[in-house]
Amino acid sequence: MPRLRYSRFLDPSNAVFLRWDFDFEAEIITFELQVRTAGWVGLGVTDRYSRAGSDLVVGGVSPDGNVYFSDQHLVDEDTLEEDGSQDAELQGLTEDAVYTTMRFSRPFRSCDPHDQDITSDTVRVLAAYGLDDTPKMDRERTFVKSIFLLQIVHPDDLDAPEDTIIHDLEITDFLIPEDDTTYACTFLPLPIVSKKHHIYKFEPKLVQHNETIVHHILVYACGNASALPTGISDCYGADPAFSLCTQVIVGWAVGGTSYQFPDDVGISIGTPLDPQWIRLEIHYSNFHNLPGLYDSSGIRVYYTAHLRKFDMGVLQLGVFTFPIHFIPPGAESFMSYGLCKTEKFEEMNGAPVPDIQVFGYLLHTHLAGRAIQAVQYRNGTQLRVICKDDAYDFNLQETRDLPYRVVIKPGDELLVECRYQTLDRDSLTFGGPSTINEMCLIFFFYYPRNNVSSCQGYPDIIYVAHELGEEVSDSMEGMMAMSNVEWTPESIKKVEKACKEAQQTVIIKTIDELVENTTGWIQDINPTPRGPCLESSGGKVEPQDKTPAGFRAAPIVLSRASSATLRCLPLAALLFGQGALSWLLATLQSGI
Q: Are residue 27 and residue 164 in the same domain, yes or no?
A: no
**Domain final residue pick, 502, 525, 548:** 525
The pLDDT value given to residue 56: 97
- Rounded Cα distance, 114 and 46, in Å: 11
The pLDDT confidence band at residue 256, using thresholds 50, 70 and 90, is confident
The pLDDT value given to residue 366: 92
pLDDT above 60 (res 578): no
Taking the chain, what is the end-to-end CA distance rounded to the nearest angstrom? 41
Angle between the 579-590 and 563-576 helix axes, to the nearest 10 degrees? Answer: 140
Q: Are residue 444 and residue 488 in the same domain, yes or no?
A: yes
Q: Are residue 228 and residue 214 in the same domain, yes or no?
A: yes
- Rounded Cα distance, 276 and 190, in Å: 5
Q: Are residue 283 and residue 330 in the same domain, yes or no?
A: no
Number of structural domains, the chain?
3
The pLDDT confidence band at residue 555, using thresholds 50, 70 and 90, is very low
Residue 47, phi then psi, degrees to nearest 5: -125, 180
CATH number at residue 118: 2.60.40.1210
pLDDT above 60 (res 566): no
CATH number at residue 219: 2.60.120.310
The pLDDT value given to residue 401: 93
The pLDDT confidence band at residue 538, using thresholds 50, 70 and 90, is low
DSSP 8-state symbol, 351 = S
Query: Do the domain assignments include residue 536?
Result: no
Per the structure, the complete domain to which residue 110 belongs is given by 6-147
Query: Do the domain assignments include residue 572?
Result: no
Ramachandran region of residue 404, left (φ > 0), alpha (ψ -120 to 50) or beta? beta
Residue 322 CA to its chain's centroid (Å): 22
- Would you name the residues annotated as active-site residues? 183, 364
Query: Do the domain assignments include residue 583?
Result: no
Q: Are residue 177 and residue 250 in the same domain, yes or no?
A: yes
pLDDT above 90 (res 284): yes
The pLDDT value given to residue 536: 66
Query: Which whole number is the average pLDDT over 343-370?
Result: 95
Please state the length of the chain: 592
pLDDT tens digit string along 54-65? 999 999 999 999
Burial-class residue 191 by CB neighbours within 10 Å (0-12, 13-18, 19+): middle
- Mean pLDDT value across the chain: 88
Q: Are residue 359 and residue 482 in the same domain, yes or no?
A: yes
Query: Do the domain assignments include residue 12?
Result: yes
pLDDT above 70 (res 557): no
Query: Do the domain assignments include residue 467?
Result: yes
Question: Which of 108, 97, 95, 86 lies closest to 33, judged by CA?
Answer: 95
Q: Are residue 182 and residue 142 in the same domain, yes or no?
A: no
Q: Are residue 415 and residue 388 in the same domain, yes or no?
A: yes
